[in-house]
Amino acid sequence: MCDLYGCNHHHPIDDEHEMVDFGDGRFVANKQAIPLLKALNEIGLRTRTHHVGNDEYAFISILLDNVEVCVKQVFEGQANRTKYNGKYELLIQWRKPLVEREEQGK
């Protein structure tokens, strides 16, 4: 059951939050995070918690049930671009939902 605090216990619905449902149940989302949460959901990545507000820090958690994650150092040896060499990147690989793969004929 949802109430003033939506469907979780962290935030009441106010000017910075609203109720959303991307197909897995209603929850309270930071309005600034909704485009990212929606986009992640549409490509098959599920999130559990997030915070994107007007303060200094933000975070998002992605559930790892269909995901492989690795952190690696960038080396673009075959590219003209070198500005990212030596930086670290988070590589996320995931298996898209079966329904989406069937629609694409794969």
Each residue's pLDDT tens digit, 8-50:
556 677 888 888 998 888 888 999 999 999 999 988 888 888 9
* 103 has a pLDDT exceeding 90: no
Instruction: Judge whether 95 lies within some domain.
Output: yes
Per-residue confidence (pLDDT) for residue 104, from 0 to 100: 66
Q: Which domain holds residue 33?
A: 17-62
CB 44 within 8 A of CB 66: yes
Are residues 36 and 52 both part of a single domain?
yes
Instruction: Judge whether 29 lies within some domain.
Output: yes
Instruction: Judge whether 46 lies within some domain.
Output: yes
67-76: pLDDT as tens digits: 899 999 999 9
* 7 has a pLDDT exceeding 70: no
Instruction: Judge whether 25 lies within some domain.
Output: yes
CB 64 within 8 A of CB 82: no
Alpha-carbon span 71 to 62, nearest angstrom = 15
Structurally, the chain folds into a number of domains equal to 2
Q: Which phi and psi angles does 5 have, rounded to 5°?
A: -90, 15
Are residues 22 and 56 both part of a single domain?
yes
Per-residue confidence (pLDDT) for residue 55, from 0 to 100: 84
Instruction: Specify the length of the chain in residues.
Output: 106
Are residues 73 and 91 both part of a single domain?
yes
Nearest to 28 by CA among 44, 46, 45, 49: 49
Question: Residue 12: what residue type?
Answer: P
Per-residue confidence (pLDDT) for residue 65, from 0 to 100: 85
Alpha-carbon span 98 to 96, nearest angstrom = 6
Instruction: Judge whether 90 lies within some domain.
Output: yes
Are residues 56 and 74 both part of a single domain?
no
